[in-house]
């Protein structure tokens, strides 16, 4: 979650991390001053094939 609000509670990140943790996922951060921050989220795959409708 990203916001441009001056006054935020930061709950978006906290809730997101909790959901990812509950799903046995991992979050990785890579940050460079003056460049920005990259956040990668990895979730485990399903053992069943997923049905995807387009």
Containing structural domain, residue 23:
11-42
Residue 32 lies in a domain: yes
What does the block give as tokens for 15? 């809730």
| Owner of token pair 């956040």 | 39
Residue 7: predicted pLDDT: 73
Write down the pTM of the prediction: 0.59
Among residues 40, 18, 20, the alpha carbon closest in space to that of 29 is found at 40
Residue 47 lies in a domain: no
Residue 37: predicted pLDDT: 87
Residue 30: predicted pLDDT: 92
Number of domains in the chain: 1
Residue 15 lies in a domain: yes
pLDDT tens digits for 1-54?
A: 556 677 766 678 888 899 989 999 999 999 999 998 888 988 888 776 666 565
CA dihedral sign, ordered 42, 46, 49, 54? negative
- Cβ-in-10-Å burial (0-12, 13-18, 19+) of 16 comes to middle
């Amino acid at each position: 979650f990203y916001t441009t609000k001056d006054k935020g509670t930061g709950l978006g990140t906290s809730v997101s991390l909790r959901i990812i943790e509950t799903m046995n996922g991992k979050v990785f951060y890579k940050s460079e001053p003056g460049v920005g921050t990259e956040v990668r989220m990895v979730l485990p795959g399903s053992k069943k094939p997923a049905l995807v409708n387009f």
